[in-house]
Structure formats: C-alpha cells, structure tokens
Amino acid sequence: MKPLVSRQEFLKVVAGGVATAAGAERTFSQQTADVRTYVYKRAGRCEIKADVYGADDRVRKPAVMWIHGGALILGDRKGTSRLLQGLLLKSGFVVVSIDYRLAPETKLPGILEDVRDAWQWVRKKGPQLFRMDVNRIGVAGGSAGGYLTLMAGFCLTPRPRALASFWGYGDIAGPWYSRPDPFYSKQPAVSKEEAYGAVGRAAISEPPGKHNRGRFYLYCRQQGLWPKEVTGHDPDADPRWFDRFCPVRNVSAQYPPTLLVHGTADTDVPYELSKMMAEKLAQAGVKHELLTVPGGGHGLAGVAPAEAARVYERASAFLQAHTA
C-alpha cells in the first residue's frame, strides 16, 4: 500500500512545518550569520541549547522565546518559522530558539522543567549576554511548541508579556490524542517493534542526524497512545493527573494576551482545539485573537505565500503591540 504522504511531507507535518515567503526568507538569511549558540542547561550528559538571533550589544531589545514543534518527540531549535523570525528581527526583536529534552525518553514534567529553566536563563543571562530587555519578553511556538507556549501562560514566573501559539493545542488528554486518529490510521500500520526501535532510553534534546522518530509518533497516533507515551500516565485511568498539563483547564484573568493561529483543514491538530482555547480566554476576559486560516493545513500547508505572509505579519504585530 502506498503511503498517503511521503516521508519528507510526514516529518514536516509532525514538526509543524511553516510556510515561507521569499522576502522574509532573505531577511532571515541575512541575519543567520549572527546566530549565537549557548548551552542553557545540562541534564546528566545531555546538553540543552539555545540559538540567539538578532543580538546587538549596543541596543537593549525586546525578545521572543521560540519553542519548536515535533509532537514533543522530534525536532530541535533549528525548526523555526523563518518568515516570523525575519519579521521579528526586522522589527527589532531578539529571537531565542530553545531546545528541550524529547519524549518518550523524557516525560512531559521534565520537558516543562526545561522550558522553565530556559525562561529563567533568558531572564537572568539575556541582559548580560545579548542585551535584551528583561521586561519585554514574549513566547511563541508551533504545534507542540504552540502547546508549550500555552503552558507558558500559567507555568512561567513571571508570566510572559504575550503568547503566540501556531496550530497549537490546549488539551492533551482528549479523544483527538488519546484515541486512534482517523487520518493517521489511513497510513500503513507501524509495528510496535519498529516504533520502539526508533527511540531510545537516554535523554536527548536533538535527534541524531539520521533517525526514524517520526515512526514512533505515527505509531502513537495510530494506536491512540500519545498522551500515555509522552506523560507516563493514562488519561482514562488517571484523568485528574492531566489537569495541570492542559492549558485549557488553567486559564485565568492573569493569563497573558494570546494570539492563536490555526488552519481549518489541519489534519494533525484539529482547528477546534484553538477554538476551544479561544472560548476559555474569552470567558476569563483575557485579551486574545483567534486568527483562522480557511483551508490551511498543519503549518499552513496549502496556503498561498501571500496569505502566509499576512498571517505572520499579524503575529509579529501582535507580539510587538504587547511587548512595547
């Protein structure tokens, strides 16, 4: 049976691949030579890194901490939205793209510990290392990074000035993740042996150059096992454990201003997840926007470059407005 999507396309979907536009690509590429890489944390033998773009030792700038996607299972700090980064750099931001330990070798509480430690590192070391303004920091991310961005809205102290979640999700225990997925079930079945052979035991924050971790993700979606494999807990047997790991259950009036971006044709993360989050934000009186992209797939797949550019320009403007 021929796969419905190629391996390359599948990995792009898993990682929350982003649309690009030529102008922003050029802007970003001109800035990449200035990247500074730091180890912000060590966990045993695992070095966890951050890439910093747009630093200028002469000027104190606002910052955005970017969190990559990949279902918490794959991806790394290089998995950034080049279009958004180009716009942010042009607007005078420092962009800090972080790694975190990956599942299933590290479970969700450990991943969130890394996000908290990255936040504290940015706030403590950022003013010294790359002249950022500690009082003007937002958080953004795509897919699983969008989920971690929404977690940042109540897990980080102090809270970020603003959040931008791209095709993220505020719930990790619902049927969309805890039951076999209809879209991924149409792919040829991945065996348990192949799935577990694609991951290991030692903690990692960057997948090796050649890896098949996407097969583990596909297995999890086909079997409805993602929440259990990533957290170590079963949402059916222990539903209350997930309370503190579902942003949609933790929205309050203190939640930061939030932008939610989602395509209506997303086959990886249902559009309804962002709608549900927007409803909770509205109920709590939190400033927010739900930017709906009609016909957009995961990572804005299938969206015309001009429309993608409009989406990212709106996101950049939102982050600028709320970190001013």
Instruction: Give the residue from 28, 143, 146, 165 showing the smallest Cα distance to 83.
Output: 28
Q: What angle do CA 9, 15, 18 make, to 5 degrees?
A: 80
Question: CB neighbours of 69 closer than 8 A, spacing ≥ 6?
Answer: 14, 15, 16, 75, 79, 141, 142, 143, 144, 145, 146
Asked whether 76 and 60 are in contact (CB, 8 A), the reply is: no
**pLDDT at residue 25, rounded to an integer:** 40
Token look-up 């430690």 returns 117
CATH superfamily of 7-170+239-323: Alpha/Beta hydrolase fold, catalytic domain (3.40.50.1820)
Structure tokens at 98: 């972080």
Cis peptide before 158 (omega within 30 of 0): yes
Segments in the chain forming alpha helices (H): 7-14, 22-32, 82-90, 108-129, 144-155, 175-178, 192-197, 213-223, 226-231, 271-283, 305-323
DSSP 3-state assignment of 61? strand
**Which of 51, 45, 50, 80 minimizes the C-alpha distance to 204?**
45
Cα 85 from Cα 321, distance rounded (Å)? 16
Question: What's the confidence (pLDDT) of residue 17?
Answer: 57
Mean pLDDT by 10 residues, the chain (324 residues): 51 57 40 82 97 93 97 96 94 97 98 98 95 96 98 98 98 98 97 97 93 96 98 97 98 98 98 98 98 97 96 98 94
Q: What is the reported pLDDT for 324?
A: 87
Report residue 248 as tokens: 């949609």
What integer pLDDT is reported at residue 24 of this predicted model?
A: 39
pLDDT at 1: 42
* DSSP label at residue 186: G
pTM: 0.93
